[in-house]
């Protein structure tokens, strides 16, 4: 007999929407696996650090100190074969019978041994050990050595026992992970956050082609929230200030992270990834700050995006170091990877990356050095070197300007500007350059009159700026590996950029005071409009403001980077049907100069649709004027 289905009462069905309305957030607990990844370089380093501490990364398994019997293994490497974990070491074995300081009936084995091992997790002690299942002997040329089988069979149990006692302590990584995650909840851990932290535990071990992957399991309560239209959050001034402070800490952390690779054998591609990531995060911040589109998740989002790009570089270089800091690197990788995994779950956990969390992470890779994460505005030589920018810029002043910026000429009298006066007073000494002194509190710099736009007779000023740009671009070309075929184009590109950015101005007069040119959004300075936040640590910010020679050199260097490392490199790899014209290259270089590397694709998209930004159009107009020798049009924006 067929059973009749039980129908839900109508009244119950009608109450469901009401129930959801009254309880919009419904917790659903699920088990999430966070990754603890021991890539094979890192696993090798950890094993060497704990168990192969002898000369040449060796371990003495047996030594009877009779010169006759010893077993030594060295230089371990790890790999995956058919989903099994293998550890290969060099092996030196000698056996014999000691007699009157001689060794009789000796047998020797020099070659390699590959161990098929099984990783074992002790979930109580949080220790990782190995169990040897089988082994294969190879000669010096990595060919199977069957003759040595008898020798190996006689002593392999001793070697197996040594391998089986190798131990990697995972407790520090688990402790650091919990300590890092806890301050990510800004209001203090809620009940669901505390439950997540308390439930952290080790799970299964998986052998992957590139790593041993250990699951860190945790119970996460996802919150059901009815879909609703997202509205732009209105931030108070205090909110914006807090976001800026958080981002500055994050930017300081990112710089320290990059600097942890100083003296590492970085490839050209490694350095490019570091530069790309730094510029991308900084340009996004300055753009959103300017457009009033900052959001409270900015730092978390940038951390995830940056770590996705940087992780392979850091694993490649830090994993190979067998030292007292290797466990710290593992903890750093684990915490960073965990944050990326939790971020994919959704925003309902309320995670925010705190200053304390970043400082704790930074300490794991600081190699014992103090960690402060100050937003330091000074020039950092190591940062320039690691980003493949070379030594800091050096300015060669013209003889008549050697007194500039603190070296006062003997016959010079500085003057302040009176807004009622026509312009600068003449120097009392005709054989001395005329200077004005800035009244801004942060300057006290001597500024040659010739770099201040005159009220009348502008032509000599334009000629001086043109000569300055020529000299600066020539100095830049002496340093750059830019192919000679592009040199003439580059020389014409520089004045077009300076024209568009500042109309050839380094200084301006405000309320009778001489000061450096500052962009309308208060981010960029000087004739080449160098963004202070974007290029923090790479250039001397004080020199950018008050030294026109330094500012033009910096702008030339930035334009060279965008031309050589981005525009030409990427355009050449594109569809060969794309015609590589001067205007295309100039347009894309300026778009990046103005808005960062991400503007490469965006500019090409605008060009394809013929929907250029106003800045694109205005720059191209100036580039064409430069090409036709019409620099006199600069007067249109100077007067």
Average pLDDT score over the chain: 85
Supply 552's token pair.
């033009």
Q: Whats the size of the chain, residue-wise?
A: 639
Q: Which residues pair with 63 in a beta bridge?
A: 70
Quote the longest CA-to-CA distance of the chain.
119
The CA distance from 592 to 613, in Å, is 13
Q: Are 339 and 303 in contact (CB under 8 A)?
A: yes
* Sole residue written with tokens 């732009």: 232
Q: Are 196 and 348 in contact (CB under 8 A)?
A: no
User: With 60 as the cut, is the pLDDT of residue 491 above it?
Assistant: yes
Give the count of alpha carbons within 13 A of 40, CB side only. 16
The CA distance from 399 to 573, in Å, is 45
**What dihedral angle (degrees, nearest 10) is formed by the CA atoms of 477, 483, 486, 492?**
-10
Q: Count Cβ neighbours within 10 Å for each residue of 292-322 and write b for 16 or more, e otherwise.
A: eebeebbbbebbbebbeebeebbbbbbbebb
DSSP E strand stretches across 139-199: 168-169
Three-state SS string over 211-271 comes to: EEEEEEEEEEEEEECCCCCCCCCCCCHHHHHHHHHHHHHHHHHHHHHHHCCCCCCCCHHHH
Residue 566: exposure state from Cβ atoms within 10 A (0-12, 13-18, ≥19): buried
Identity of the highest mean pLDDT range in 32-36, 134-138, 339-343, 480-484: 480-484
pLDDT in tens, 527-559: 999 999 999 999 999 999 999 999 999 999 999
Range(s) for CATH 1.10.530 in the chain?
399-412+451-638
Q: Which residues pair with 74 in a beta bridge?
A: 58, 90
Q: Thinking of the domain 399-412+451-638, which architecture would CATH place it in?
A: Orthogonal Bundle (1.10)
The CA distance from 17 to 29, in Å, is 22
Secondary structure element (H or E) that encloses residue 81, with its range: strand 70-81
Q: Are 219 and 193 in contact (CB under 8 A)?
A: no
The CA distance from 183 to 557, in Å, is 41
**What dihedral angle (degrees, nearest 10) is formed by the CA atoms of 32, 38, 40, 42?**
150
The CA distance from 163 to 141, in Å, is 23
The pLDDT score that the predictor gives to residue 401 is 61
Q: DSSP letters along 20-44, please?
A: HHH---EEEEEEEEEEEEEEHHHHH
582-595 vs 487-502: helix axis angle to the nearest 10?
Answer: 50
Q: Are 449 and 436 in contact (CB under 8 A)?
A: yes
Q: State the sign of the Cα–Cα–Cα–Cα dihedral 518, 523, 525, 529.
A: negative
The CA distance from 407 to 169, in Å, is 60
Phi and psi of 489, rounded to 5°? Answer: -60, -45
Confidence of residue 563 (pLDDT cuts 50, 70, 90): very high
Secondary structure element (H or E) that encloses residue 136, with its range: strand 127-138
Q: Residue 82: helix, strand or coil by DSSP?
A: coil
User: With 90 as the cut, is the pLDDT of residue 257 above it?
Assistant: yes
Q: What angle do CA 467, 472, 473 make, to 5 degrees?
A: 100
The CA distance from 254 to 242, in Å, is 18
Per-residue pLDDT averaged across 296-314, rounded? 94
Phi and psi of 251, rounded to 5°? Answer: -65, -40
Rounded percentage of the chain residues whose pLDDT exceeds 90: 62
Tell how many helices (H) and how many strands (E) occur in the chain: 20, 15
Q: Are 73 and 58 in contact (CB under 8 A)?
A: yes
User: With 80 as the cut, is the pLDDT of residue 444 above it?
Assistant: no
The pLDDT score that the predictor gives to residue 281 is 98
The pTM of this model reads 0.85
β-pairing, 507-510 vs 513-516, is antiparallel
Q: Residue 279: helix, strand or coil by DSSP?
A: helix
Least confident of 114-118, 220-224, 405-409: 405-409
Q: State the Rg of the chain over Cα.
A: 33
pLDDT in tens, 181-206: 887 765 555 677 788 888 999 999 99
The CA distance from 353 to 246, in Å, is 8
Per-residue pLDDT averaged across 405-430, rounded? 34
pLDDT in tens, 69-92: 889 999 999 999 989 999 999 999
The pLDDT score that the predictor gives to residue 149 is 61
The pLDDT score that the predictor gives to residue 249 is 96
The pLDDT score that the predictor gives to residue 139 is 87
The CA distance from 260 to 362, in Å, is 9
SS3 content of the chain, % helix, strand, coil (to 5): 45, 20, 35
Rounded percentage of the chain residues whose pLDDT exceeds 70: 83
């Amino acid at each position: 007999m067929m059973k009749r289905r039980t129908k839900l009462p109508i009244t119950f069905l009608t109450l469901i929407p009401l129930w959801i309305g009254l309880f919009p957030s419904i917790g659903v607990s699920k088990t999430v696996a966070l990754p603890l990844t021991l890539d094979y370089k890192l696993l090798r380093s950890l094993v060497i650090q704990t168990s192969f501490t002898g000369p040449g990364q060796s371990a003495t398994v047996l030594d009877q100190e009779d010169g006759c019997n010893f077993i030594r293994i060295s230089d371990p490497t790890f790999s995956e074969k058919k989903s099994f974990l293998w550890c290969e070491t060099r092996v030196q074995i000698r056996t014999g019978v000691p007699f009157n300081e001689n060794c009789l009936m000796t047998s020797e084995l020099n070659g390699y041994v590959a161990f098929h091992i099984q990783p074992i997790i002790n979930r109580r002690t949080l220790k990782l050990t190995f169990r040897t299942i089988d082994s294969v002997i190879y000669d010096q040329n990595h060919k199977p050595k069957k003759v040595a089988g008898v020798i190996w069979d006689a002593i392999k149990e001793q070697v197996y026992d040594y391998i089986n006692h190798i131990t990697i302590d995972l407790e520090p990584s688990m402790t650091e992970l919990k300590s890092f995650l806890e301050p990510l909840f800004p209001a203090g851990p809620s009940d669901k956050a505390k439950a997540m932290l308390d439930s952290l535990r080790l799970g299964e071990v998986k052998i992957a082609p590139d790593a041993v992957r250990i699951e860190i399991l945790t119970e996460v309560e996802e919150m059901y929230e009815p879909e609703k239209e997202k509205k732009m959050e209105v931030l108070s001034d205090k909110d914006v200030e807090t976001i800026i402070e958080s981002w500055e800490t994050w930017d300081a952390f990112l710089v320290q992270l990059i600097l942890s690779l100083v003296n590492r054998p970085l490839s050209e591609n490694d350095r490019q990834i570091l530069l790309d990531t730094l510029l991308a995060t900084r340009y996004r911040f300055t753009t959103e700050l300017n457009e009033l589109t900052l959001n409270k998740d900015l730092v978390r989002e940038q951390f995830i995006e940056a770590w996705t790009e940087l992780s392979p570089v850091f694993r490649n270089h830090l994993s190979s170091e067998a030292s007292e800091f290797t466990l710290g690197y593992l903890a750093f990788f684990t915490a960073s990877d965990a944050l990326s995994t939790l971020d994919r779950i959704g925003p309902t956990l309320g995670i925010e990356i705190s200053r304390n969390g970043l400082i704790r992470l930074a300490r794991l890779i600081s190699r014992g050095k103090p960690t402060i994460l100050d937003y330091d505005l000074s020039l950092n030589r190591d940062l320039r070197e690691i980003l493949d920018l070379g030594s800091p810029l050096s300015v060669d002043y013209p003889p008549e300007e050697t007194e500039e910026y603190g070296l006062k000429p003997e016959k010079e009298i500085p003057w302040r500007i009176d807004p009622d006066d026509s312009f600068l007073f003449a120097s009392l000494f005709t054989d001395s350059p005329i200077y004005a002194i800035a009244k801004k509190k942060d300057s006290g710099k001597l500024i040659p009159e010739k770099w201040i736009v005159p009220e009348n007779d502008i032509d000599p000023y334009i000629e001086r700026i043109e000569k300055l740009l020529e000299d600066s671009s020539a100095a830049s070309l002496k340093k750059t590996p830019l192919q000679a075929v592009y040199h003439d184009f580059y020389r014409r590109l520089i004045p077009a950029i300076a024209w568009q950015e500042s109309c050839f101005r380094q200084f301006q007069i405000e309320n009778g005071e001489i000061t450096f040119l500052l962009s309308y959004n208060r981010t960029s300075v000087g004739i080449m409009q160098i963004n202070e936040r974007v290029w923090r640590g790479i250039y001397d910010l004080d020199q950018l403001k008050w030294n026109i020679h330094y500012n033009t050199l910096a702008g030339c260097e930035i334009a060279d980077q965008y031309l050589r490392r981005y525009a030409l490199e990427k355009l050449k790899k594109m569809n060969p049907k794309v015609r590589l014209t001067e205007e295309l290259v100039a347009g894309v270089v300026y778009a990046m100069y103005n808005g960062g590397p991400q503007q490469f694709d965006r500019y090409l998209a605008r060009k394809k649709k013929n929907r250029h930004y106003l800045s694109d159009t205005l720059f191209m107009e100036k580039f064409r004027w430069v090409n036709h020798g019409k620099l006199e049009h600069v007067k249109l924006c100077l007067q």
